[in-house]
Every structure is written in C-alpha cells, then in structure tokens.
Copies of this chain bind each other. A is one copy, B any other.
Amino acid sequence: MKKELKVFFKIFTTTKDAIEKFMNMLNPVIQNASDDHERLYYHHIYEEEEQRLSRLVELIPLISKFEQEKDEKDFTPTNNEFNRLLQELNLEKFGLHNFVEHLDLALFRFTDTERSTLLNELRDVSYRDYQQVKELLNEINTRFDHDYVDPHAHHDEHHDHLARPASPTVVTKSKRKKGFTVGSLL
C-alpha cells in the first residue's frame, strides 16, 4: 500500500497545481464574459474546481501521513481513518474525471495557441493520472473488499468515453473541428 500511496501523493499534488493553472485561465474569462450565460458557465466550472482544490488541501496531507507514519497493519477496513482515506480517494477519482472533461470543454473554446497548448498538456497528464488512479483503486477496492460500488462502472464497462482516438493529435483535432463554430460556443 505504501507504493500506491506514493503514486497517489504525486498525482494529487500534480493535479492541485493543474487546478490552480486552470483557475487562473478562467479568471479573466469570467471577468470579461460577454453575457450572463457565459459568466455562469465559467464561474460554475471555476467553483467546482475550487471545491476540488479545497478537498485536495485536506487529502494530500492525509495521504502523506499514511505514507510516512503508518504501517501496513494500519491499512485495514476496520481502521476508520484508512476507510476515510479510501473514500476520499474514490471521490477524487471522479474529481480527476470531471477535470478532464472541464479541460475538454475549455479546449473547444480557448483555441489560441497559448491556452490550447497549456490545456492539452494538462489534459494529457490528467487523463493518464485518472487512468492510473482508476486502476489502482480497482485493485485496492478488490483487495479490501469493502462494499464500495463504483457509480461509473457501467460507463467504463463498454467504453471509456474520455479516451482519445488512436492517433490523438490528428483525429482529435478533426473531431473537434466538426463541432466547432467560432463565436457560437458558450
């Protein structure tokens, strides 16, 4: 479990930094929104990421505490603090998933080179991290066999709709173009 905790620590520290970059990008967009709908839309995404940030500020030290101070014997489903850790990690798996989608939605709108380059970087890292968190938690949830039910399992069963097609750059670009009309998007 120590090995997994090290990975979680790295991933959630990385995504905390990514949230801050994304929030900084959204800030002027909210300030300069051209109408109420646009303002609410970005403000809403901003707040959801802000909520996630606040949770990570609590979670990261908890991961660190388990990694550094606890023994393998503490990693049992009868340990309440460990259960809480698992619950939080399961919640932040969805946090990462939703972040990837926030970035994808932003990529439709912020098509200038500077922002789309940063968004694509954040997107690629977050998607990879989401996959790894999902894999690790699947394995951990099986190992500890508590009664956790993954509300997303039925989505993942047949396909992973977050995945980019085989040749990401080319196909994704053309896919995006199809749906994109300048000025028509919120």
Contact = CB atoms under 8 A, between A and B. Distances in A.
A97 B51 CA distance: 11
A67 interface: no
Interface residues of A, number: 43
A186 interface: yes
Contacts of A180: 35, 37
Contact of A179 (B38, B44, B91): B38
Contact of A185 (B80, B178, B186): B186
A155 interface: yes
B104 A40 contact: yes
A37, A43, A97, A149: residue with the most chain B Cβ atoms closer than 10 Å: A37
Interface string A58-93: 000000000000000000000010001001000100
A7 B44 CA distance: 27
A84 B102 CA distance: 28
A80 to B, nearest CB: 4
A87 B152 CA distance: 22
Contacts of A185: 37, 186
A101 B44 contact: yes
A151 B50 contact: yes
A161 B50 contact: no
A108 interface: yes
Interface string A27-53: 000000011111111011001101101
